[in-house]
Structure 1
């Protein structure tokens, strides 16, 4: 965390660079280096809030503010017409949270605690919802990939909007389920290690300020995507599905691993799986709605993305379905992520 705080120096450097007209590639790098510590601060802030609110709300807030980073980045990409970056970042966030964040948490926590237990009822509910949500998100792509192109007309693009509305309604239902009608399923108690270092007011202030700064840095980041991809020989597809989710989810990565090391696997799972669920049911629909302000965007994933999304969810269901985890299961999840990332790199 100390290293992340030293990286905050890149924030004023990037702002100065904007006024001095640094090249887009340099601005991309400076913005990325600025967003990572800001996301870390957001993670620290939500961890402090969890002392006051409990693990359920703490995990929910971390997932929300972690995804706020990606939502802001995707909004500016949407504004610039970088639809491939936006769509691939949605898929990349889901795959990264399920395989990389959850895998790293299980691996780190398992090395310290050997076997870690968590609330199986919560995992069953979240994983079932996650499987349904991924299938729903993939329906527009399956629709276009399986039908004869000659049978398609422009109305199929409206299918994406219909799916977005249904997903958003389901998201509201899931919040009502977890926080009101079935909140007893999510109850969990820990022997607290230490006390909150920040006041609740300070933690909320840090979250708000970090979010504003991330919005500024996100505009710098997106402005350099096309330049950095051409100079490094990378596709916008790879930048969207691997680089942007890693930069945007830095808060979730660090906080989920920290919670696992403290043997708070329920919080780590809520961050990893809950964040993926939130990307599908909240972030994706919001981006589709926002695209109506510019150019309507259809969520049509390619075949490799479809397979990677569905396989990721199935693997997570299998690994987390027994109510316990160890370091080997975490290593397996990360291995699958790196294999998938290698595949996207050569596309």
Structure 2
């Protein structure tokens, strides 16, 4: 019955969002309809991904969850790049990284910790995740410092951004080979108390794949409709592009990860939840952001990889607290509360920009 109501709401909101967009209901109405629609579409995407992950296994399943959970954010960002809204793109990248590390991981650890006194996951995976998060911070800090201190010209900044983007993509591909192939056994979660094979998937394998494709296409449409309203919406309410990109777009885009990671944590599968939340942040920093730089070059104007001081500070703070909490491979509800508290502090700071 719940599933029927969910699909009914999904279809109704998707259709209303389409009508609002093509009939020009006004930026505020269109934004509300598109934002509501994308929440349900992201939920559908998350459910389809979770069903596919059931057949693929936990590590690959976590990777698929993170990848398709990021589909909404990637598609939104591509449309923003096409419109030349580079500041909002960088803000949305920042928001995705801190949103996953602080809000998604925080909610997962907090709600899972309320049900289980202490939850454990693979300490080797925690250590490697920490190293990769630090790499992401270094890759974002270096261009910002060097271009400002040495006054790089536009061409030098462009080639620096493209080169670093290429290096990050290679580093991410090597991480996938390391974690999925050569060291898969070392990084496997040994603490799972309720394995996936004891549960039924929502749909059959091929139905899950079909629904995953449909959800991705729906995400692309709703994302474009949402982006079309942003400029007017931000001007009307006097919001900065940084706040809209870092929090509103990021929260909407992270809806799939919210549902999947929290549900897994409450099933005492904190390893899978961490794989989604932290893995999603790493994917944004090491793959999605670099891909967007190459995409912008294809559109004719290359977006540089130079982030603002406040964006870098937010990312560094998120990485620092997430690393300090997760590196021992153990979590409890209070650590989740700390992550959420840091997210709230950053949200207030960004709001007043």
Question: What interval of TM-score do these two structures reach, taking the shorter chain for normalisation?
Answer: over 0.9
1:294-333 equivalence runs, <5 A? 294=299, 295-333=301-339
- Name 2:107's counterpart in structure 1: 104
- Name 1:252's counterpart in structure 2: 257
- d(CA) in 2 for partners of 1:7, 1:304: 38
- Name 2:9's counterpart in structure 1: 7
- d(CA) in 2 for partners of 1:39, 1:211: 9
- d(CA) in 1 for partners of 2:6, 2:161: 39
- Name 2:180's counterpart in structure 1: 179
Q: Structure 1 stretches of 5 or more lacking a match?
A: none
1:186 aligned counterpart, secondary structure: coil
Structure-2-length-normalised TM-score: 0.94
Give the drift of 1:148.
5.2
- Whether the 8 Å contact between 1:103 and 1:330 is mirrored in structure 2 is yes
Q: Structure 2 stretches of 5 or more lacking a match?
A: none
- d(CA) in 2 for partners of 1:321, 1:188: 14
**1:168 and 2:173 matched:** no
1:189-338 equivalence runs, <5 A? 190=192, 191-192=194-195, 193-294=198-299, 295-338=301-344
Matched residues, number: 344
Structure 1 17/174 Cα, relative in aligned 2: closer, same or farther at 3 Å?
same
- Name 1:60's counterpart in structure 2: 63
- d(CA) in 1 for partners of 2:53, 2:219: 22
2:203 aligned counterpart, secondary structure: coil
1:217 aligned counterpart, secondary structure: helix
- Name 2:25's counterpart in structure 1: 22
- Name 1:157's counterpart in structure 2: 158
Give the drift of 1:137.
2.4
- Whether the 8 Å contact between 1:48 and 1:198 is mirrored in structure 2 is yes
Q: Which of 75, 93, 96 pairs up with 1:90?
A: 93
- Whether the 8 Å contact between 1:137 and 1:163 is mirrored in structure 2 is no
1:247-299 deviation line (CA, Å, top 9, x unaligned): 11100011100000000011000001100000011100110000012211012
- d(CA) in 2 for partners of 1:4, 1:37: 8
- d(CA) in 2 for partners of 1:4, 1:241: 28
Give the drift of 1:6.
4.9
- Whether the 8 Å contact between 1:120 and 1:321 is mirrored in structure 2 is yes
2:70 aligned counterpart, secondary structure: helix
1:76-124 deviation line (CA, Å, top 9, x unaligned): 1111111111011011100110011100000000001111111111111
- Whether the 8 Å contact between 2:172 and 2:286 is mirrored in structure 1 is yes
Single out whichever of 177-186 and 253-262 deviates more from structure 2.
177-186
- Whether the 8 Å contact between 2:140 and 2:312 is mirrored in structure 1 is no
- d(CA) in 1 for partners of 2:266, 2:160: 43
1:42-80 deviation line (CA, Å, top 9, x unaligned): 111122122211110111001000111101000111111
Structure 1 148/181 Cα, relative in aligned 2: closer, same or farther at 3 Å?
closer
- d(CA) in 1 for partners of 2:130, 2:8: 37
Single out whichever of 4-13 and 320-329 deviates more from structure 2.
4-13
